Structure 1
Amino acid sequence: MNNNIVTKLQNGLGKAITYFILLSCVAIFVVYLVQRFGAQYAEDKIKEQLDQSGLAPFVQYGSVHLDPFTLTPSLENVSFGNENAPWLRFARISFNSYPINYPDLDVDFWIQESPIDSLSRDTRRLMRAAGVDTLLGKGSFTSKVEGEKVSSQFKLDIKDIGKLNLFSNINVLDHNIAMSDLRSDVIASFALGQPEALPIIYGDVIELHSLKVEYEESGLIAHLLPKSALSRDSNENQLNGLKYMSQALGLAPANSTEAEQIAETLLTFLKQPEKLNLTMSPPSAISLKELALLANEGTLYKDSKMTLSND
């Protein structure tokens, strides 16, 4: 190989390296700009939604991070509730779309490992009842709005407690209701232990098409009701107790075939806690007010086409 060819190769290689370095610098600079200004835009949008939903006073976070490659904005070190003793602490809450396509939501979250004494009194009470002294878990929430139809899916996996999946399809008949208000009211009603407030607030304007709840046990039932406690009473007494529980909850009269089916399914689950599924599929959409009336009449299980199974 003559000297001219060697010189040309050296020059070409030098230029290639120089271009590569320049392009790398440009790429790093672009990533920096996307991350910095994208994170600021995401934080502004998140603050806007928190303010609109009325949740701003209850949500504190350390920072907003934006993945420059997936364009996924995340809240880091989040606490929900009182800052010193929150209901929950989250290591991260990620919004899986950018820009945030509100009112549709696609959110992943990770519950920060939280000792029982670091959380609110209400959460501590629930943790003691569940037999855990440290809370750790993850989950997701997706919700899609198409006109008046809202389909949602909620998943939660809590270490040493269990996995919960909830799927719902509803109609929101009043177009003046903002999804931010509805979602914040749902969160607030459950956080305050008052889910019965929802039929009062939204009884005439929300219709249920379908509901499905799946629970997979990984410690909760074993803590709440050890096998030794079940063995102290006869099957007949346990079944009767569960039948009267169905009546007290407005599901079915204690002497009905529906109450018997509920009791047998629950007792099977309690003796061998693995999976429990509940579905509600009314023949036509039914309002929250009508569901509350069915519960008052004690026929909710039958008239809403509810089923309970261990499948």
Structure 2
Amino acid sequence: MASNKPAPEAPFATDYFGDEGAERTWEEWNPTEDSVRPVRGRHRVLKQRGGLARSSTVLGVGVIAAVGAGGIATAQDKPAVSISLPDSISDNLPDAKSLPGVGSLMSDDADGDAGIANAAPLTAMTVAADTGSGTTGVADQGSSSAGEALRARILQQAEQQQAEADAEAKAAAEKLAAEKAASEARKQQSEAEAKVEAEKRKAEEAAAAKAEADRLAELAKSYAVPLSSYTITSTFGQSGSMWSSGYHTGLDFAAPTGTPLKAVHGGTVKSAGWSGSYGYHTVLELEDGTEVSYSHQSSIAVSVGQKVGTGDVIGRVGATGNVTGPHLHLEVHTASGDGVDPMAWLRGMGLSV
């Protein structure tokens, strides 16, 4: 750190107040209250203590020298101090403006007294690096000041946080879009599989229907409707007081008396003859054990034990037994003896009734 040269000591003769022509002997001058002339103005020399004068003059010069030399003074908020020196001392002091780093801080007022110019706070200044010539200076911070650096850092952090937030939002949006796309793909795949399954099921049903139709068509070749021309007057399960069981147990085909009755399928005649309320009655047993009976015939054309084929005439329509008019009363019983609907049974054999 640079330092200022101390001010030269002012020589004074011991007989300063003696004759002008006397020989003078010079020694270090130590001012006292008796030896110092009164100072014009408000300033005065304080009482000497320990050989040092604590005047604002000495302290002011020390502050100025410290600020100019090293730039480390911390008197940022201290008020300016006016300095006055006795003429005998001020004449031998170096010019303050010539001191390195101090001259820029000094200015002369209208009366010629030295003053300290208003300076910017130390916090707004920086110490210049040594340029190699041994001198240092103070420069304005400008854009590299602490405030600008802090502002730049805050902006950088804000931009980084915004970038991270944008990245997170983008990642979340991409994840949501991927999940949505995957869900849509699964939905489409499920719909496609359901469509394929429906088409497959539909094709299977169509194939099954065709197979059943083919079977019935083939089966219909071996089955026949008992009459070629008829009118359905009573159906299976129909209730009424006309029947002893309380409901109709067969299917009635109304037709003129004498209309031929055909065997619905090949089989063996199990019984043939009179059967009370059924009139003339014939029972045909098929190969699977199913029994088909014909009632109210006017005549019977077969006998017990006779084998017949599909479409063979086994009798004729009549009105015998408990009837109100000529018709065929047809019943169908399974091998176990249960009665079934003759219409459904005939249709199950591929016949149209």
TM value normalised by structure 2: 0.23
Bigger radius of gyration: 2
- Higher share of residues assigned strand: 1
TM value normalised by structure 1: 0.26
